[in-house]
Structure 1
Amino acid sequence: MAKIRVLISVTTYPLPSRSYDELVCTAGFLEDGSWIRIYPVPLSFLKDLKKNVGFKKYTWIEIDLKSRNDDFRPESHSPNNYDIKILDKIGTKNYWRHRKEICLNNVYTNKAKFINDSKSPTNVSLVTFKPSQITGFEFTEDEAEWKNEWKELRKQTDLFAEIESDPEKLIPKVPYKFYYVFKDDEGVSSKLMIEDWEIFQLYWNCLKDSKGDKAKALLKVKERYFDKFTKENEIYLFLGTTMQWHRRRATNPFVIIGVFYPKIKSQLSLDL
């Protein structure tokens, strides 16, 4: 595949349960609104992009990609190189209108439908899903430190070659897992883990604002993702499969890799 334009919409936070191939997953949309997954992307490379050019999500990039022969999921690609050209960013004007034009071309509302499409031969592994209702937001305690085998893996791979010593210096371990509980258009309930980088970064920001009080930080995260979003925002979930559970044909191999949350448009509002 030659250089193509991709609207980066998702960057997942690395978790100890992930396989090597999914240390860092970046995903987005092509110009026709179809999904594409890009991995691996070095964390140090993402950090440099943010520092040097202010790179953020919903930015168009131009990148040279190739299909992955070791991944049966059709959306999965790898960079031929990291000579990425940063193009224009899509903002939030007019209730995210321009973002919606790209990101909401194919929206699922039924769980059984996207689960069926994830099966062979289609093997769909990235979907946009509109829940009929968000019914809960939960969090559970997780290990406070990365597993030893995960630390060793991070030291061994060249993805982290720019990290001089401590492999946790760049990405600290979040000691919690976050979940959305929601219903589809038939009232079928699901509970899925949220692995979006954004929610984990929000936790660190809230912990800092709360002067290290974890309980207050968790409450602030819930206030945003449940209390605020469910009242003020129209929620779409970006779902992606992990290769491990997709290959095993798990009942539901998806996790939440991103949340798309434009403000709810008031009937009294005028288009700008």
Structure 2
Amino acid sequence: MNQLSLFGPREEGPEEKPQSDRKERLRVLITVKAAPNPSQTYGETVCVAGLSADLNRRGWIRLYPVNFRDLASDEKFRKYELVSVDARPARNDQRRESWKPISASLERGAFLKPWQPRRNWIDPYIEESMCRLHRAARADANSQSLALIKPKDVGGIDIERHPGWSADEQTKIDAYVNQLDLFGTRDRTPLQPPRFKGFYRYRCHDLNCRGHRQGMIDWEFVAYQRNHLAGSDARHAATALSEKFFGNLCASDKDVAFYVGNQAKRAHVFSILGVYWPPKA
């Protein structure tokens, strides 16, 4: 298998989208599955991102929308799995990495076990300045929108109660559930908000960095609450989340880095999409 790390990222940044709207077959090493968000059209949408496995299209790729719950069970791909999918350039999203996938075309490939096979692909993409990304996004909304940032130090994670869906989000959920009722679709369970939100505090390696506090929107952060903390009282649950996502993933024996991505409508606002935490060599 040819490995992307032999070539590394493009020095000139993300490649421009093709001018044509015809579908293309993409091969992607999945590194990020963001937490699901309400959508009136799709029910719950998931942003998936990773590294292109095509040597003629190196760099980050964002696949959106993906209705993760509606995928057949044998199509629920994992992080660090290679997938192939037909997709078209996302025209309603100025970010150059964004593609609109055709979910029915998705095929699963090899799964990279921890950690060295993953490092061979991913480590060449590690960057050290979150501040640079912020500056670039403020100057140009079409600048790099996905990255893997190695922090200089991680100060902690703030765990806060989730306020629940906004009125607009709840309206989207209700509309989608009503649509499912109309057509008799089997699974009509409305998407529930997580109990907690998380915010990492860290400094990057930029000489003038004054610190970053970024929201955590990783699928695993939400799934951990649902699968392991559903019956716990609030104080115990918050402590457990902090121990897991700061004490464990960001421990001193880990080569921690943060997958980050910005918002299409607010390009200067970046969130943490996931944690990369191989052991230090």
Task: Give the alignment's TM-score, normalised by structure 1.
Answer: 0.81
Give 1:138 shift. Answer: 0.7
Gaps of 5+ in 1: 247-251, 266-272
Q: Does 1:167 align with 2:186?
A: no
Give the aligned partner of residue 264 of structure 2. 243
Q: Does 1:36 align with 2:52?
A: no
Letter in 1 for 2:88: K
Give the aligned partner of residue 204 of structure 2. 184
Superposition CA RMSD, Å: 2.6
- Is residue 6–residue 28 contact of structure 1 (8 Å, CA) maintained in 2? yes
Q: Kindly provide the CA deviation profile for residues 142-193 of structure 1, in whole angstroms up to 9, marking residues without a partner as x.
A: 21x43343232134459x855643423xxx2112210110011135311100
Give 1:128 shift. Answer: 0.9
Give the aligned partner of residue 117 of structure 1. 136
Give 1:139 shift. Answer: 1.1
State how 1:15-164 maps to structure 2 within 5 Å: 15=37, 23-31=45-53, 32=55, 34-46=59-71, 48=72, 51-52=73-74, 55-92=77-114, 96-118=115-137, 119-120=139-140, 122-143=142-163, 145-157=164-176, 161=180, 162=185, 164=187
**Cα–Cα, structure 1 residues 23 and 72, in superposed 2: closer, same or farther, change >3 Å?**
same
Matches of 1:218 and 1:136, distance apart in 2 = 13
Q: Structure 2 residue aligned with 1:216, among 230, 236, 245?
A: 236
Give 1:245 shift. Answer: 1.4
Letter in 1 for 2:80: Y
Give the aligned partner of residue 269 of structure 1. none
Give 1:89 shift. Answer: 0.3
Matches of 2:116 and 2:109, distance apart in 1 = 19
- Is residue 72–residue 123 contact of structure 1 (8 Å, CA) maintained in 2? no
Give 1:219 shift. Answer: 0.9
Give the aligned partner of residue 264 of structure 1. 280
**Cα–Cα, structure 1 residues 15 and 262, in superposed 2: closer, same or farther, change >3 Å?**
same
Q: Does 1:201 align with 2:223?
A: yes
SS of the residue 1:52 aligns to: helix
Give 1:212 shift. Answer: 2.5
- Is residue 68–residue 76 contact of structure 2 (8 Å, CA) maintained in 1? no
Give 1:228 shift. Answer: 2.1
Matches of 2:40 and 2:260, distance apart in 1 = 18
Matches of 1:3 and 1:66, distance apart in 2 = 9
Task: Give the alignment's TM-score, normalised by structure 2.
Answer: 0.78
SS of the residue 1:13 aligns to: coil
Gaps of 5+ in 2: 1-22
Letter in 1 for 2:274: G
Letter in 1 for 2:93: D
**Cα–Cα, structure 1 residues 173 and 101, in superposed 2: closer, same or farther, change >3 Å?**
same
Give 1:135 shift. Answer: 0.9
User: Sequence identity of aligned pairs in percent?
Assistant: 22
Matches of 1:4 and 1:192, distance apart in 2 = 30
Letter in 2 for 1:167: P
**Cα–Cα, structure 1 residues 141 and 165, in superposed 2: closer, same or farther, change >3 Å?**
same
**Cα–Cα, structure 1 residues 7 and 19, in superposed 2: closer, same or farther, change >3 Å?**
farther
